[in-house]
Amino acid sequence: MTVADPLEQIAAALEPHGLVPRGGFVFGAGDEAPSLSNGVSARSVVLVGHFGSSIWPHFVEWRRAHPYVDDPLDTWSKDVLTHVADAVGGQAVFPSDKPYLPFQQWAKRGEGLSASPLGLLIHPEYGLWQAFRGALLFDRVIDFPSIARDNHPCDSCAEKPCLSACPVDAFDGKNFAVGRCRSYLAEPKGHECLDGGCLARLACPVGREHAYIPEQQRFHMAPFARG
């Protein structure tokens, strides 16, 4: 497929679903490029995700029509991105698929992001309120715009309120005490996080205005609490 601007075409195909291209890159000689379904190694990858709650109304509408689907958000993502990939001449891949692909490293490379003290990647504008839903692989070279590599917002945050907001001190800047967090969520007082969202994540001042709406926060917290 020959297009004048493939990134614009991809963005247009994603926009009706609240999704956006989240950077990408061309695989180099030293990279372990994944193979496409035809056996050819991918040449380029475009990360796909969202900022804030942009996907939520689209996902909720889809879920009403698919009320009994397991892992509904992953299933929605695969449904949407598989169709988008067909439309733009690519192949969709997902973080939950095996063998696991290095999405975290792709995101760092493709959008210049770094990890926050909570372990989540942080965006200089949207903070912790963003996510990647999958990626599109292509058998051709895509021309990506240059990105900033020195924009880690945590470097200028002296107080690090994210590390002190957790009621059970589950974060220390390097590790996350998963069991301690889940035990707290199982207690009655843990509903402040279960229903209102992770207090540590909410404490981050970067992009706070883009925080997920309460319904979306509850949706994400529930499966984590179940383990």
Count of CB atoms situated within 10 Å of the CB of 43:
15
| Sequence-ordered strand ranges (E) for the chain | 20-26, 44-51, 91-93, 114-115, 121-122, 130-138
* Proportion of the chain above pLDDT 90, given as a percent: 88
Sketch the domain layout of the chain as residue ranges.
Answer: 6-151, 157-226
E strands, 89-188, are: 91-93, 114-115, 121-122, 130-138
pLDDT, tens digit, 9 for 90 and up, residues 98-127: 899 999 999 999 999 999 999 999 999 999
Strand-strand pairing, 121-122 and 114-115: antiparallel
The model's pTM is 0.93
Phi, psi of 49, deg, nearest 5: -165, -155
What is the torsion angle, in degrees rounded to the nearest 10, for the CA atoms of residue 45, residue 128, residue 147 and residue 89?
Answer: 20
pLDDT of residue 1: 43
Could you report the average pLDDT of every consecutive run of 10 residues in the chain (227 residues)?
A: 76 98 95 94 98 98 94 97 97 94 94 94 96 97 84 89 95 93 93 94 96 96 87
Residue 139: DSSP 8-state: S
How far apart (Å, rounded) are the C-alpha atoms in residues 159 and 132? Answer: 28
Q: 93-103, pLDDT tens digit by residue?
A: 999 998 999 99
